[in-house]
Amino acid sequence: VILEKLHLRILLKYQRDERMICSEAVLEVFLRAKVPVLPKDVVPLPGSFVESDLLIEVGQGVLSQDWL
C-alpha cells in the first residue's frame, strides 16, 4: 500500500518477501519526508567508551557501588 501511494514499483526480488517490501517502503518514506533515521541524541556506540575507566573496571570484575 505504501509503495502504491509513493508511486513506486515493487522490484521483482521483493514481490514474495513482505518483510523486505515493508523495510524498503519505510526507508523511502523516511528519506522523502527528510526525517532523520537516527535522532540527534542517540546513545553513543560501545566503541566510544574504549578509554573509559568504567570499562576497565567491568573487564576486571571489580565494579564497585561507586559507579552505580
The angle formed by the CA atoms of residues 49, 54 and 58, to the nearest 5 degrees, is 110
pTM of the model: 0.29
Is 6:26 a contact under the CB 8 Å cutoff? no
Map grid coordinates 518477501 to a residue: 17
Pure H helices in the chain: 2-5, 18-32, 53-60
Specify the DSSP class assigned to residue 38.
S
Kindly report, residue by residue over 58-68, the tens digit of the pLDDT. Answer: 666 555 556 55
Instruction: Report the largest interatomic distance among the alpha carbons of the chain, rounded to a whole angstrom.
Output: 58
pLDDT digits (tens, 9 = 90+) for 17-41: 656 557 777 778 888 888 776 666 7
